Amino acid sequence: MKFAFGRTFALMALAVVLASVGAAAAMWSETLLINITVHTGEVDVKWSDWYCSDTGPDPQAPGFNNTEGKDVAKCYVNPEREDEEGDVIKLNVTLDNTYPGYSVEITAIVDNIGTVPVKLLNHSFTGLEELPLDVELVIPEDTQIDPGLNSTYKLKITVLQEAEENTDYSFDLTLTFAQWNEVS
């Protein structure tokens, strides 16, 4: 009986070895590989052009007039700061010698110089609370800017009757752009 068990075990082991060798010899194979590289894009915007509507006689708010065509106040729009690539990222607007009723529109062009479409994520005013100014940001209906294209933003500023003589008023406007698929 001992011999039958040992013999059966040896025959089974031999059968397993032969089956393995037979399958290995009969099976052909080939391996496929994938090399993956992911390059991310860039969100990058800049101010490319800017100008003020006061190019001659002082523009007036509704209810005020400048029938004499006086050119008393001045509007200056200049680059204030550039990023490390030399792109203008901050503008300085100075309204000089203004008075109640003086009303200008600053036009600024935003270029998408990145590789990813962008949209305006948000905008905020700082320091505007309780100033004797009426300020309105005119935002395009569709704020998406595809790479290589631009969009126009307008900032309307009117000096109100409550403004005091010989007084400086200042505030900041921040526009934040993000990749288009993050902005609802």
Per-residue pLDDT of the chain (184 residues; tens, 9 = 90+): 555 666 776 677 777 776 666 655 678 999 999 999 999 999 999 999 999 999 999 999 999 999 999 999 999 999 999 999 999 999 999 999 999 999 999 999 999 999 999 999 999 999 999 999 999 999 999 999 999 999 999 999 999 999 999 999 999 999 999 999 999 8
> What confidence score (pLDDT) does residue 155 get?
98
The one-letter amino acid at 172: D
| Residue 27: predicted pLDDT | 86
What is the pLDDT, as a whole number, of residue 152? 98
Give the model's pLDDT for residue 18: 66
Residues contacting 124, CB < 8 A, separation 6+? 173, 174
pLDDT of residue 21: 61
pTM of the model: 0.81
**pLDDT at residue 68 in the model:** 97
What distances in angstroms separate CA 90 from CA 30, 83, 153, 156, one per listed residue?
59, 9, 14, 18
Q: What residue type is assigned to position 25 of the chain?
A: A
pLDDT of 149 reads 98
Give all strands (DSSP E) within the chain, no chain letters.
Answer: 45-52, 74-82, 88-96, 103-112, 118-126, 133-138, 150-159, 172-179
Alpha-carbon distances of 16 from 9, 43, 85, 104, rounded to whole Å: 11, 63, 70, 93
Q: In terms of CATH architecture, what is 45-182? A: Sandwich (2.60)
Taking residue 144's Cβ as centre, other Cβ atoms within 10 Å add up to: 15
